[in-house]
Amino acid sequence: MTFIKSFISPIVSVKWLHERLNAENLVVLDGTIAKPFDASHEQILNAKFFDIKQKFSDTTKEFPSAFPSAQQFQKEARVLGINQNSAIVVYDDKGIYSSARVWWLFKAFGFDNVAVLNGGFPEWKKAGFPTEKMKPNDVEQGDFVAKLQPHYMKFFDDIVYASQDKTHKIIDARSAGRFNCKEPEPREGLRMGTIPNSVNLPYTDLLNNGVLKSKKELAKAFYMVAEQHEPIIFSCGSGITACVLALGAELSGYKNISVYDGSWTEYGTLTTGEMDKPSTWTKNELLAYILMYVSHSDLSESHVEKKYILSRVNKQVYNRVSAQFEKDSDYQSIQNIIEAVKSHDYYRNDFADLFADIKLMAFADGNYDVVEQMIYNQLKKILKDD
């Protein structure tokens, strides 16, 4: 029986893995994200399911796939039978997607004898290699020890500092459409936008049908956005595909690399948009703007109307939105509202709530006049027909 001492590369081929499936210290992990246990699902022989969402994320945090503590990671890794002398190969069912996150997590906890299966489960099946049905974990508990390596993961305060002071090159793995605010974020209620001073390299640019491109092609892709000596932070939507960039960067010889754990989901939630770009507004900014538009239908905003708006959004949001609203013409105001609603799809399921807010604000001064009714009907038609 063979023993795998160490990997010479952070990726291995399906042929390489097939030839070593019986290695004494091999642990194969299925890192497919959000995959429920199902005995009808196929897997590579003797694979163990690495549950990113529930077992290897801090589920007490607000944002998805949050970085776990060393204690949590160590405990769950041991349950999977992982030892200090294990050699880990991780795959997922998309090719290379969430498997890179698993690889990066192990490195972040001081374990380097881990590699990603190039092309993942689709390549394994394409090669005709054997599979089996998913089965419960029944291995002996391992002796894995987690040793946190702080420089692998960056968090909100780190990214704010890096962005403002330009201490790192920030590279975003999202699609060009999302990065350039031309496509809405898939997470409902999350505004569009980008981290200031970041550049875009879609993770899909590194792949051909889920298989990493050649080292030469990878090196060219990274050369276009960063020099090898630059410190780099990779970001994405929620910290998953940023790790695909980290994998490609390591293969391309980049050394000073890290991943922003919360990525755009966290940054876009904790920061405000640019007020002259409605596509980046938060839901509260949009609500405040619409209510201001209605309240100014008679060319002024009464104290009672202002009080109502402040009951729905905080003072900082009110002041920020008010400053922008005062700059905009009536025509521009309508265009801003249309763009913001379309960009974010904020009110996809709750137009009724939005229009109730508008009516309540209009009634706040005890007088729902003809002009306010006209504005209300105009907004209803524009937003519902849009």
Which 8-state DSSP code applies to residue 355?
Answer: H
**Nearest CA to 248 among 209, 222, 210?**
222
Tell me phi and psi for residue 355, to 5 degrees.
Answer: -70, -30
Supply angle C-alpha 65, 71, 72, rounded to 5: 35
Pairing of strands 48-49, 26-30: parallel
The CA distance from 79 to 274, in Å, is 46
324 by Cβ neighbours in 10 Å (0-12 / 13-18 / 19+) ranks as: buried
Marked catalytic residue, from 236, 275, 286, 287 = 236
* C-alpha Rg value of the chain to the nearest Å: 25
Neighbour tally for 325: CB within 10 Å: 19
Contact assessment for residue 147 and residue 109, using Cβ atoms and an 8 Å cutoff: yes
DSSP states of 94-149: TBSSTHHHHHHHHHHTT---EEEETTHHHHHHHTT--EEE-----PPP--------
The CA distance from 23 to 18, in Å, is 10
**Nearest CA to 26 among 41, 7, 43, 11?**
7
**Crossing angle between the packed helical segments 263-270 and 156-165, to the nearest 10 degrees:** 80
Can you name the residues that pair with 234 across neighbouring β-strands? Answer: 171, 259
The CA distance from 131 to 43, in Å, is 5
Is 236 known to be catalytic? yes
Supply angle C-alpha 74, 76, 81, rounded to 5: 90
Cα-to-chain-centroid distance, residue 22: 36
Cα-to-chain-centroid distance, residue 329: 36
Supply angle C-alpha 34, 40, 43, rounded to 5: 65
Q: Give catalytic residues, as residue numbers.
A: 236
